Structures are given as structure tokens and as C-alpha cells.
A = this chain, B = another copy of it.
């Protein structure tokens, strides 16, 4: 937390949707309020919109969600059991949670999916999740659903096919990576894994089209370099936070769709989630001034601990104007 939170504004970001897959997970509104206070202490230049970890404890206390939105909680995230970092307590059967989804529909909380099926080949886990999306969307048509960090042409088609209450996020690294960049390169290993060239093409196409069902999601997993520099069992996650805006403009520039950058990064997501327009007057300016991504971001000098960022050592065409 101490490493990532200051890097939010450093990366040009002023508001974030905070994921709940901590250890222990953020399981109820009280925990979210306390967590938000800790984040504020570390960086008060940022707005924090909180999420809860979908869990059966909420079934016994549905009324606790009545005031969630006023308390700064905007959604609940569902992790399939065991597919990514901090998902051991994840979901095995969505029907159990229908009373929660129904309540969320009433009180205006959004449902955020890590959209992978557990115990499935990494290349097929997202595609096979589609059925869950269709079933839950059909049952709860007014529930806002975000399929987080999509990686396949199949998922993009699924989101397009659903009604206006279903959207998806796209990470900056899935604009560039394929599975070929992941094998042998733990630094590029995240879940869902980057897929085929045809999938990347579908992701790029939908971004270039300016489709408002798709907006930015970042990955700010600060896995220690030691855990990534290993021959086996590297944790899933990519650290993009401290340079997210420069990564993004670099990618959009290469794709030739800079005209969609502001809506993709700043507007569409907030609109979909019903968040107020940014209150801060602060705007960021990116200038065409090359920079090299550092090989490491220091987390703690005391323990010589650092995180290897996405595209470490590579050149980005743009820099954030201080």
C-alpha cells in the first residue's frame, strides 16, 4: 500500500476504483471505510471509490449495503475461486449470491467481474466465463456489470452483445502483449493472461472505435521483484501504476487513436458508474518528451525491496509534465 498509493498521482491519475482482494479481503462497508481512511492518509490528492469482495457474509447483512454508496463504496467485485492473487475466498457458484445482486440492483452498486472460470486452461478461462455474464445480465438487467480487464475477442463480443448496463475495462498492457510475451517473461504474467494476436487485434479495434462500453482499467500489482525473478510460481500481476498515463498515451499514439484517449481514460468509466465529474480542477499535461521506464521502483530501502514495472528499460515517447 505504501508503495502503490503515492504512485497513483505520480502516474497522472486523480481517482481510482480500489480493488478489494487484500489479505484479508475487504468484505464489508466498515472495512472499506477504514481502508479508505488509510489510503487518504498516504495520499489525499486522490479520490478513492471503494469496492467490496463478493462474499457470503454479505448475504446475512444485505441491509448493510443500503448506505454503501453514501459511504464511498460503489461496487462489489467477484473473484472466481483461486484464479488470481488474493482469490482463495472467491466464488464457486454465482446463484448463491443472487440476493446480493438483487440488492445491488436496488441500491445502485455495480458488479465487477474478474471474468475467468477456475480450474481451466489459462487460454480458455475467460471465453468460458461468458455464459456466467449472459445468465446474470439476463436475470438482473438493471444491474451495472463491468467485465474487468478483458483479453479476448470472445469477451469483447459478449460485452457488445449485452445491454447498456454491461461494460468492460481494458488494461494498457493488453493493448500490447500476447501470450508470446508472457512465456519466459514473468514480468508480463497477469491474470487473465494476454492471449492470441487475433485477441489483441480485437482489443485494439474496439479501443480505436471509441466504443463507450470499454474504458481503462489499470493493474497496480506491486509484486516484489524477488517473487517475479523466479524459475517457478511467479505471482500474477503487472505494475503499471507509476507510469500509467505515459504508457497509455504511448500506446494510443502507436494505434493512431489519440482522439479517444481522454474519453477512454477519464470520462466513459465515470459516466458508466454514475460518478460525479471530477471535482478537482487539476488537469495533467503529457508532452512528447521521451523517457526510459526505470528498471525498478524502490518500495523500501530498509529491506532492499523493489518492484519491476511494466516495460522496464523501454522507451516511452511521452512524459508527464511536472
Contact = CB atoms under 8 A, between A and B. Distances in A.
A71 interface: no
Contact of A186 (B180, B193, B231): B231
* Copies of this chain, tallied across the complex: 2
A186 B189 CA distance: 11
B231 A180 contact: no
A232 B238 CA distance: 13
B228 A228 contact: no
Among A182, A184, A225, A230, chain B packs the most CB atoms within 10 A around the CB of A184
Contact of A121 (B193, B197, B232): B197
Contacts of A184: 186, 189, 232-236
A121 B231 contact: no
A157 to B, nearest CB: 20
Nearest to A225: B231
A233 B233 CA distance: 16
Contacts of A229: 229-231
Contact of A231 (B185, B233, B236): B185
A91 to B, nearest CB: 20
A124 interface: yes
Contact-residue bracket for chain A: 20 to 34
Nearest to A200: B121
Interface in A207-263: 225, 228-236
Contacts of A179: 121-123, 179, 183
Contacts of A233: 184-185
A178 interface: yes
A228 B231 contact: yes
A138 B125 CA distance: 39
Interface of A: 121-124, 178-180, 182-189, 193, 196-197, 225, 228-236, 308, 312
Given A123-B196, A184-B232, A184-B233, 19 more contacts: A121-B178, A121-B179, A121-B180, A122-B183, A123-B179, A124-B197, A179-B183, A183-B193, A184-B186, A184-B235, A185-B233, A186-B230, A186-B231, A186-B232, A186-B234, A188-B232, A225-B231, A229-B231, A232-B312
